[in-house]
């Protein structure tokens, strides 16, 4: 049953994105807090949203499968953080107003594009990466490849290859959900096509650099996620702390997968905690 969680997460993302009026209103609010800028890459553009105050670190937010930048709650989270630190989020290829980008849309490709986004805004600053769901895989790949640029990591209910191991049938089902609802060019559709590849790829990576890392896991149970399933989820997240001197693993039973929407204060507290540890 553990493989089906990719499907459940994808279905949740679809439900959130399908709420068009709510989503558009959310985008307008975010854009009133942040400056929008199109970043031109050789093959496509990416829409970025930032607030640069010349603070010491740049906070970079990476969304999950099926979600664009507006998944980060604007009033409860973005508005608070934007007045404390430099902040950057963006729409991956095929989301929002970003271009389609070359395929395949696997973790290695997404991480390489994240690097270009960060380099366009960070200057000499190190980054604190915040990744939700499959965004956790993206920031993990980036941090391993660019340890000198990465100051700290915050994983929010991240996907992990020890738990997320979809079969070919399950990958097809997730792909078809996105394709039928939003078309072949949608970012979530193209990313869903390589979920098996992503899981295999992540299993080949080295451990994280020895920097402060916090993981927040949802331990909220329901019919599809009984206690035994949540235990496996938590145990998979424990592997992120391998070899680290400063690893914090927090669980919550008050939120489902979208912890940043249900408990934004929990995210803010842990971002501030990471900042307090850094020089």
Q: What share of the chain is helix, strand, coil (3-state, %, to 5)?
A: 50, 20, 35
pLDDT classification of 20: cutoffs 50, 70, 90: very low
Q: How confident is the model at residue 15 (pLDDT cuts 50, 70, 90)?
A: very low
Query: Distances from the Cα of 146 to the Cαs of 108, 142, 151, 273, in angstroms?
Result: 13, 6, 10, 22
In whole angstroms, give the CA distance from residue 215 to residue 152: 11
Q: Which CATH class is domain 4-277?
A: alpha beta
pLDDT at 7: 42
Q: Kindly provide the residue ranges of all beta strands, DSSP E only, lying in 52-137, ordered along the sequence.
A: 57-62, 86-90, 126-132
Tens digits of residue pLDDT in 131-170: 999 999 999 999 999 999 999 999 999 999 999 999 999 9
Q: Residue 8 — very low, low, confident or very high, per pLDDT cuts 50/70/90?
A: very low
Does residue 243 carry a pLDDT above 90? Answer: yes
Q: Which burial class, exposed, middle or buried, applies to 245 when counting CB atoms under 10 A from its CB (0-12, 13-18, 19+)? A: exposed
| pLDDT (0 to 100) of residue 33 | 80
Q: Is the confidence at residue 17, as pLDDT, over 60?
A: no
Distance of CA 149 to the CA centre of its chain: 18
Structure tokens at 32: 């009133």
Residue 1: band (very low, low, confident or very high) from pLDDT cuts 50, 70, 90: very low
Mean pLDDT of the chain: 91
- Determine the average pLDDT of the residues in 215-242: 96
215: CB partners within 8 A, 6+ apart: 154, 155, 158, 237, 240, 241, 247, 248, 249, 250
Higher pLDDT, 130 or 124: 130
Distance from C-alpha of 153 to C-alpha of 209, rounded to nearest angstrom: 10
Q: What is the pLDDT of residue 200?
A: 98
Quote the pTM value.
0.92
pLDDT at 4: 45
pLDDT the model gives residue 255: 97
* pLDDT value of position 11: 45
Could you give the 3-state DSSP secondary structure of residue 218? strand
pLDDT in tens, 66-103: 999 999 998 889 988 888 899 999 999 999 999 999 99
pLDDT-based confidence at 222, cuts 50/70/90? very high
Residue 128 or residue 12, greater confidence: 128
**Domain coordinates in residue numbering, the chain:** 4-277
Closest C-alpha among 261, 275, 276 to residue 77: 261
The Cα 34–Cα 243 span in angstroms is: 37
Of the chain, the percentage scoring pLDDT greater than 90 comes to 83
For residue 252, the tally of other CB atoms under 10 A from its CB is 16
Mean pLDDT of 41-65: 96
């Amino acid at each position: 049953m553990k493989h089906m969680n990719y499907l459940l997460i994808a279905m949740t993302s679809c439900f959130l994105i399908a709420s068009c009026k709510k989503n558009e209103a959310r985008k307008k609010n975010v854009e009133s807090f942040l400056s929008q800028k199109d970043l031109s890459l050789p093959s496509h553009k990416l829409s970025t949203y930032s607030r640069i105050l010349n603070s010491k670190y740049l906070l970079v937010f990476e969304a999950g499968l099926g979600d664009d930048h507006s998944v980060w709650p604007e009033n409860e989270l973005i508005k608070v953080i934007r007045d404390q630190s430099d902040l950057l989020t963006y729409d991956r290829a095929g989301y929002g107003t970003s271009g389609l980008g070359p395929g395949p849309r696997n973790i290695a490709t997404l991480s390489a594009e994240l690097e270009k986004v960060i380099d366009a805004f960070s200057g000499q600053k190190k980054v604190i990466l915040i990744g939700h769901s499959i965004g956790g895989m993206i920031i993990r790949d980036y941090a391993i490849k660019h340890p000198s640029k990465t100051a700290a990591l915050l994983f929010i209910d991240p996907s992990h290859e020890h738990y997320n191991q979809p079969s070919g049938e399950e990958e097809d089902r997730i792909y078809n959900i996105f394709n039928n609802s939003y078309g072949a060019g949608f970012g979530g559709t193209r990313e869903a096509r390589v979920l098996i590849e992503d899981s295999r790829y992540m299993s080949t990576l080295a451990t994280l650099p020895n920097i402060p890392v916090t993981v927040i896991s949802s331990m909220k149970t329901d019919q599809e996620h009984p206690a035994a399933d949540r235990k496996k989820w938590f145990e998979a997240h424990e592997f992120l702390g391998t070899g680290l001197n400063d690893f914090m693993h927090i669980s919550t039973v008050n939120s489902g997968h979208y912890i940043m929407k249900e408990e934004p204060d929990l995210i803010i507290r842990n971002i501030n905690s990471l900042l307090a540890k850094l020089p």
